[in-house]
Every structure is written in C-alpha cells, then in structure tokens.
C-alpha cells in the first residue's frame, strides 16, 4: 500500500537511489494560498547533511510542483493557489553513492527490510533499501507541509520535538517547555541544557560506529470536538497507524500512555468542565477539544559502521563491514516527519467529519 488517507490522500513513489522521490496529493481543498517557501523549509528540516549529527549525504531536496496549483490572484502574498485537483510533485535525487552498496547485492543487512522484501517479492533493491529507505518520507513532509497550511487556516497546529535520546530526556510535560526553542539547536529539543547532553551522546555514539534511538514527543492544539470515528476509525488509532508507518518507529502513546497504568480511575478521570487532560484530548476515539499530546519511540538505526554477522541469499554466514553515509540517530531529522504524519491525519479526520451531523447545542 503506497496511499495514505481517506479524503486527504497521499500516494508516494520513488526509491532512495532512483531518479526522484515524489507523490500525488488528492483531496486538498481548493483556494488555499500555498506558501512554497514553507514547504521548502519543512524539507530543509528533514534533509540530510544539515548538521554533524546527521548523514553526510548532500541533497538539495528542492520540491517541484507539477500540477494542482495555479498562479495566485494579483495582490496575493503567496505565489500559488490550489485548484482542488491532484497535486503532483517530485524531489530529485542528486547525490546517490550507489557503489557503496555493491558488496551487499546478495547479502541481507541485519534488522533491515532486506530479508523480508526479498522473501515477499523475490527481488530487492540493495542500493540503500529502495522503498524501505527513510528517503521515502520526503513525500510525507511535502504533503504534511500542505496539510499544516490548511490546518493553520482552521486554527489547528502540530508541534513535535526530540524528548529523549538514549537515557537522556527533557521534561515529559509539554506545558512546562518553551516550544519556541525547538529549532534553536541541532537535536531539536526545547530544553537547551538537555539538548547539549543529547548532542554529546549522539556524537559519542557516532564516533564508536554505533547508533542510538529515542523518543519524539508532539502535541496537537486547536483541534475541535468531534474528530475521529467511534469504533474502527478512532482518532488515536489513526494517529498510531500514521506514526507506526514511519521507518524505525517501535511504539506510540498518547495522553498519559503507559505511565497511567499505575494510577486509579479516581486519579485519571477528566470531569466536566474539563480542567485536566488525562484522556489526552480523545475520549471514545473522538477528539474532545483539548490538546492531544503524544510520544513516538524510535529504535536505533540498524546500519552500524562496524563488522556484523549475517547471511547471504543462499543462507551462507557472512561478515559485513557496512560503508556509506548514515545517521547515528534519526530523531533530529524525524521531527518534521512526525509533524507531517500528525497533520495529514488530523486534516483527513476533519474532512471526513464535515457534514456528519447537524450543529450540536452548546454545553
């Protein structure tokens, strides 16, 4: 499945070492004055080579819109306006080092999708993993940037940040953090002191040829009451599915999540009027109008720059010494990806929710 969403839909295409990564966005409302600079700034947050914490692969990641937009009316502050038709786009690959993967043509890298892709399809792209490469997430960031612009018009916002790297973590309560500081450091943590510790740990791990994981936290604000379906389309289930589709994600929680299992119902219930938010902004699978805080767990990157034991396609034991340019920790570059998936999920739920029922009386 290469399509995400019900009404606001993204179909992505392309491989890490192919000509381009691209997508088609269907269901974007017409008449949106599109800020192309904002889309590019979101891609810049995801692109490789942006700091010493990331892979050294150098890509401009310049987006080209192919359809679904036209010049904005004279006097508009933006250059383009959406027409309501499918928005096609590509981002060309410019700096592939495919030869770095020549010795892996017949070898399965440990904890990668190499083995499962080969067993499923009978063939795999050994050059960086093909479709299983995180470079595919470029399409999500483009679509997410457009979704964010629609949500902004509706008074909604999605913010994400690096909350934990290894065992180093900032305050888990987002209300006690200054989220305006997220983009002030390379690791994208809103606590400068903790950010420095995270950066030091990532650089240490990188120097050892190893990798490390962590947690990205986020919050959705301005969400109206009523988004999400009561049984199989619960809003938190949609958010969880979106996050778990991101490379290297191993877990998702919202509200108090697993930490809440040690509490009693008398400690967790949100009574009216809503002054607490133990429910995480969702009750019965439907948004209740409060902020929706969530956390996403990322495993350490599977590619280690050190010898590893594996097998080849014939089942023979092999020792590999991976080369190439890889992230020692994906979290700094994954922040805009998490935001993009949340934005697309919320916009899609909002579109589905339109005209579901007559206006409800105020409480």
Q: Residue 351: its pLDDT value, please?
A: 95
> How far is it, in rounded angstroms, from Cα 331 to Cα 254?
18
Provide long-range contacts, Cβ within 8 A and 24+ apart, for 122-129. 125/15, 125/16, 125/17, 126/101, 127/15, 127/16, 127/17, 127/96, 127/98, 127/101, 128/15, 128/16, 128/17, 128/96, 128/98, 128/101, 128/324, 129/16
Residue 73 — very low, low, confident or very high, per pLDDT cuts 50/70/90? confident
- Is-contact 254 293, C-beta < 8 A? yes
Q: Residue 61: its pLDDT value, please?
A: 86
Q: Residue 106: its pLDDT value, please?
A: 83
Q: What is the pLDDT of residues 270-293, one digit of tens each?
A: 877 778 899 999 999 999 999 999
Which DSSP string do the residues of 165-178 spell out, in sequence order? ETTEE--S-GGGS-
How many helices (H) does the chain have, and how many strands (E)? 7, 17
Q: Is 118 or 280 the better-scoring residue by pLDDT?
A: 280
Q: Please report the domains of the chain, with CATH numbers, ordered by start residue.
A: 3-353 (3.60.150.10)
- Please choose, from the candidates 128, 109, 37, 135, the residue with its C-alpha nearest in 3D space to the C-alpha of residue 77: 37
Alpha-carbon Rg for the chain in angstroms: 21
Sign, CA torsion 109/205/176/333: negative
Q: Residue 288: its pLDDT value, please?
A: 95
Q: Residue 225: its pLDDT value, please?
A: 95
Q: Is the pLDDT of residue 362 over 70?
A: no
> How far is it, in rounded angstroms, from Cα 26 to Cα 215?
31
Model pTM score: 0.91
- Please choose, from the candidates 218, 187, 196, 186, the residue with its C-alpha nearest in 3D space to the C-alpha of residue 296: 218
Residue 190 — very low, low, confident or very high, per pLDDT cuts 50/70/90? very high
Asked whether the bond before 273 is cis by omega within 30 degrees of 0, the reply is yes
pLDDT > 70 fraction of the chain, expressed in percent and rounded: 91
Q: What is the mean pLDDT of residues 251-274?
A: 88
- Residue 181 has which token pair? 């500081």
Q: Compute φ and ψ for 168, nearest 5 degrees.
A: -100, 120
Helix (H) or strand (E) holding 352: helix 331-353
Q: What is the pLDDT of residues 124-179, one digit of tens each?
A: 777 667 777 888 999 999 999 999 999 999 999 999 999 999 999 999 999 999 99
Q: Is the pLDDT of residue 99 over 60?
A: no
Residue 91 — very low, low, confident or very high, per pLDDT cuts 50/70/90? very high
Residue 57 — very low, low, confident or very high, per pLDDT cuts 50/70/90? low
Q: Is the pLDDT of residue 356 over 90?
A: no
């Amino acid at each position: 499945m290469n399509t995400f969403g019900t009404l606001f839909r993204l179909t992505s295409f392309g491989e890490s070492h192919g000509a381009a990564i691209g997508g088609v966005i269907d269901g974007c409302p017409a008449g949106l004055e599109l800020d192309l600079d904002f889309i590019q700034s979101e891609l810049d947050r995801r692109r490789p080579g942006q700091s010493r914490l990331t892979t050294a692969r150098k890509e401009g990641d310049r987006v080209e819109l192919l359809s679904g937009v036209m010049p904005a009316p004279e006097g508009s502050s933006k250059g383009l306006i959406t027409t309501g038709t499918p928005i096609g786009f590509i981002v060309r690959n410019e700096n592939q080092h495919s030869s770095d993967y020549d010795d892996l043509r017949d070898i399965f890298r440990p904890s990668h999708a190499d083995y499962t892709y080969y067993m499923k399809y009978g063939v795999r792209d050994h050059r960086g993993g093909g479709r299983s490469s995180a470079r595919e997430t470029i399409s999500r960031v483009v679509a997410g940037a457009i979704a964010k612009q629609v949500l902004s018009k509706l008074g909604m916002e999605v913010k994400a940040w690096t909350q934990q790297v290894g065992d180093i973590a900032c305050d888990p309560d987002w209300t006690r953090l200054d989220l305006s500081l997220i983009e002030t450091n390379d690791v994208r943590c809103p606590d400068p002191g903790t950010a420095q510790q995270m950066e030091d740990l990532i650089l240490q791990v990188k120097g050892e040829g190893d990798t490390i994981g962590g947690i990205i936290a986020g919050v959705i604000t301005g969400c109206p009451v009523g988004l999400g379906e009561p049984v199989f389309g619960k809003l938190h289930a949609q958010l969880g599915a979106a996050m778990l589709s991101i490379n290297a994600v191993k877990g998702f929680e919202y509200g108090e999540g697993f930490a809440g299992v040690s509490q009693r119902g008398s400690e967790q219930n949100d009574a009216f009027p809503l002054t607490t938010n133990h429910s995480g902004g969702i009750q019965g699978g439907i948004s209740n109008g409060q902020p929706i805080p969530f956390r996403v767990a990322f495993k350490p990157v599977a590619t280690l720059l050190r010898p590893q034991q594996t097998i080849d396609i014939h089942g023979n034991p092999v020792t590999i010494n991976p080369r190439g340019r890889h992230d020692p920790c994906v979290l700094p570059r994954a922040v805009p990806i998490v935001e993009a998936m949340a934005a697309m999920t919320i916009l899609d739920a909002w579109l589905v929710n339109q005209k579901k029922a007559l206006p409800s009386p105020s409480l």
